[in-house]
Amino acid sequence: MAIQRHPKGSVFEEQIGYARLVTAGPFVFVSGTTGYNYDTMEISEDVVAQARQCIKNIRAALHSVDADLSDAVRVNYYLRHTEEFESCWPVLSEAFGAHPPAATMIEANMATPEMLIEIELTAMRGNLAQTDA
């Protein structure tokens, strides 16, 4: 199974030394993704807006390797403040729709104080036989 690294050119990837996305066969691993708009390097002060931007960033990374949020099998949410998670639920529910992945939420410190949420995702491309029991 070939491992391919797919850096997306963010300043964080270069400074820290990681790839936004790694594929190994059908598996797609998306690194922890924050709510920065990578074009402007701006980040909202609102956790819900950051969650939306995280999903937008993840969706773009997935599309670059012919995958989508419906291919997600596992997601980890890291939040600076646990009590802010519930306000993000509508954004996350809408993003994953009829194909919700297994999920975990963890309260954690972030790399910078303005980061309020970080989302890490694992997907499986080509999952044509999706079944929901």
Classified as helix, coil or strand, 24 is strand
Task: Look up tokens 């596992």; give the residue.
Answer: 74
pLDDT score of 13: 74
What count of Cα atoms within 13 Å lies in the side-chain half-sphere of residue 98?
A: 4
The whole-number average pLDDT for the span 23-43 is 94
- Longest alpha-carbon distance in the chain: 43
| pLDDT tens figures, 96-129 | 999 999 999 999 999 899 999 999 999 999 864 4
> Greater confidence, 25 or 15?
25
Give the model's confidence band at 33: pLDDT under 50 very low, under 70 low, under 90 confident, else very high.
Answer: very high
pLDDT score of 133: 47
Question: What percent of the chain has pLDDT above 90?
Answer: 75
pLDDT score of 9: 66
| pLDDT tens figures, 84-99 | 999 999 999 999 999 9
Distance, CA of 131 to CA of 77 (rounded, Å) = 24
Classified as helix, coil or strand, 11 is helix
Distance, CA of 86 to CA of 82 (rounded, Å) = 8
pLDDT over threshold 60, residue 7: yes
Look at residues 27, 22, 133 and name the one whose alpha carbon lies nearest to residue 72. 27
Walk me through the domains of the chain, giving residue ranges and CATH numbers. 3-124 (3.30.1330.40)
- Decide: 9 and 39 in contact? Cβ < 8 Å: no
